[in-house]
Structure 1
Amino acid sequence: MKTIVICSGGLDSVSLAHMVAANRKLTGLVSFDYGQRHRKELDYAALCAKRLDVPHDIIDMRGIGAALTGSALTDDVDVPDGHYAEETMRVTVVPNRNAIMLTVAYGIAAARGDQAVATAVHGGDHFIYPDCRPDFTQAFEFMQYMALDGYADVSLYTPFVHRSKADIVTEGQRHNTPFAETWSCYKGGAHHCGRCGTCVERREAFDLAGIADPTHYDDPDFWAEAVKRKILA
């Protein structure tokens, strides 16, 4: 099935791209510049496209992102440290981000004759991000079916929506994902900070999967403390 993958350059979406390349017909990657704190992750998406030898489109959404104010990912707001399950992580929500990206990706897929759009939303996202939840993805796919009725038939491929990030690490290893060539950290420094929500979740996922984490973290031990706080909360 001809499938395009929404790829941020992070562990989840790069693992998904390798999985699609192995199990389906990967026709390209699409990434979005929405004015996020740093473009570093987009460089890793470009590396993935080059490695898998597929086209890579970067959609300029900076004008839209500028209007989606209030998020630590787009505004001058401190990125909080800790596990995603902590209430402070809500400041990382960019309103309707996935809904907007999926809409654009569906348009690209329909225009190019692709049969599916793949996105790496997973179970760990459900607590904070409403447009990563199963109810949303099911409703969105039906909405797009109606939007493209009679013009194109494009499905939504979300193989991780009911699975954990540890499961993604396992699938990524199975499909030879070079984890060191992915970027998750929200802070965009020289190395992963090891303290922000996505760093903590990344480090925890490798531990739960029992797979060696090749990532260099500035604070490699903080994750264990953050996970403990989540359990005791």
Structure 2
Amino acid sequence: MEKALVLSSGGVDSTTCVAMAVERFGEKNVSTVSVFYGQKHSKELQCARAVAEYYHLNHYELDLSPVMEYSDCSLLEHSTKDIIHESYGEQLEKKGGSGIVETYVPFRNGLMMSSAAALAMSIYPDDTTHIYLGAHADDAAGNAYPDCSREFSETMGKAITLGTGGQVLVEAPLVNWNKARVVKEGLRLKVPYELTWSCYEGGEKACGTCATCIDRLAAFRANGVEDPIEYQ
């Protein structure tokens, strides 16, 4: 039997992956997992739970925050840095067109993929499990998030498959798409984007000015639709 375990942050990209997995495998064969890594707010975890409930999926949560205890990434609750309210393009321009951005959490995708592989073997011991990762091309551009690249997901995927005896496979279906293309697919699948959260800030409404809000708003505009969440 084939199963899917989707890494779910409660955002646009991972929720689109949830819908893609449900369409492919059926909701009875799909689970989601979200990760607390010490982030400043719990909005994404709340949204991941809401998405799982919407699709009637089993949902798991992992606490990987001790690993990030020593990082000063601006997304972490103990960080001394403020979140930068600029687009990724503006941030990369200051780095000469390429470089890791301040909101990169050290090796987060690698850590989550490895943990998801262990979870998959535990909850689906007799099945082949496809881990879905929602990384897309915009995040990898300029090496802003090096663990979002196609090369990274493919290489980690090979290691995970080898390390699980072929039982766990990695899928990164959005890795060659920009965010507008992700939203286009989500609209086709009728993804409940009103349940999602992308903002790096944890207010009642999304800020609209951090890099991920800017990208999200642009992606919905590119598809000629209004983003269903509220902004300040």
Fold shared by both chains (TM-score > 0.5): yes
**CA–CA distance in 2 between the matches of 1:147 and 1:20?**
23
Letter in 2 for 1:13: S
The answer to whether residue 115 in structure 2 is matched with residue 104 in structure 1 is yes
The answer to whether residue 85 in structure 2 is matched with residue 81 in structure 1 is yes
Shift in Å at residue 153 of structure 1? 2.0
TM-score normalized by structure 1? 0.88
**CA–CA distance in 2 between the matches of 1:142 and 1:19?**
22
User: Is contact 1:9–1:45 with CA below 8 Å preserved after alignment?
Assistant: yes
**Which position in structure 1 is the counterpart of 2:130?**
116
TM-score normalized by structure 2? 0.88
| Aligned partner of residue 90 in structure 1, secondary structure | coil
**CA–CA distance in 1 between the matches of 2:131 and 2:178?**
20
- Count of equivalent residues: 215
**CA–CA distance in 2 between the matches of 1:106 and 1:87?**
33
Q: What runs of 5+ residues in structure 2 fail to find an aligned partner? A: 93-99
**CA–CA distance in 2 between the matches of 1:178 and 1:170?**
13
User: Is contact 1:4–1:114 with CA below 8 Å preserved after alignment?
Assistant: no
**CA–CA distance in 1 between the matches of 2:195 and 2:3?**
25
Q: What does 1:86-97 correspond to in 2, within 5 Å?
A: 86-87=90-91, 90-97=101-108
Shift in Å at residue 145 of structure 1? 2.1
Q: Following TM superposition, where does structure 1 have runs of at least 4 consecutive aligned residues deviating by more than 6 angstroms?
A: none
| Aligned partner of residue 101 in structure 2, secondary structure | helix
Shift in Å at residue 114 of structure 1? 4.2
1:109-144 per-position Cα deviation (integer Å, ceiling 9, x unaligned):
122234210011000110310111011111111111
User: Is contact 2:21–2:30 with CA below 8 Å preserved after alignment?
Assistant: no
Q: What runs of 5+ residues in structure 1 fail to find an aligned partner? A: 219-233
1:119-175 per-position Cα deviation (integer Å, ceiling 9, x unaligned):
1100011031011101111111111122122xx422111110000111111111111
**Which position in structure 2 is the counterpart of 1:229?**
none
Q: Which moved more, 1:76-85 or 1:45-54?
A: 76-85
User: Is contact 1:179–1:214 with CA below 8 Å preserved after alignment?
Assistant: yes
**Which position in structure 2 is the counterpart of 1:11?**
12
Q: What does 1:207-226 correspond to in 2, within 5 Å?
A: 207-218=221-232
Letter in 2 for 1:86: E
**CA–CA distance in 1 between the matches of 2:219 and 2:86?**
15
- Percent identity of paired positions between Structure 1 and Structure 2: 32
**Which position in structure 2 is the counterpart of 1:148?**
164
The answer to whether residue 68 in structure 2 is matched with residue 65 in structure 1 is yes
Shift in Å at residue 11 of structure 1? 1.2
Shift in Å at residue 10 of structure 1? 0.7
User: Is contact 2:6–2:31 with CA below 8 Å preserved after alignment?
Assistant: yes
**Which position in structure 2 is the counterpart of 1:195?**
209
Letter in 2 for 1:14: T
**Which position in structure 2 is the counterpart of 1:45?**
48
**Which position in structure 1 is the counterpart of 2:145?**
129
The answer to whether residue 39 in structure 2 is matched with residue 36 in structure 1 is yes
User: Is contact 1:31–1:58 with CA below 8 Å preserved after alignment?
Assistant: yes
- Measured on the aligned residues, the alpha-carbon RMSD in Å equals 1.4
1:177-216 per-position Cα deviation (integer Å, ceiling 9, x unaligned):
1111100000111100000000000000011122222221
**Which position in structure 2 is the counterpart of 1:184?**
198
Letter in 1 for 2:84: P
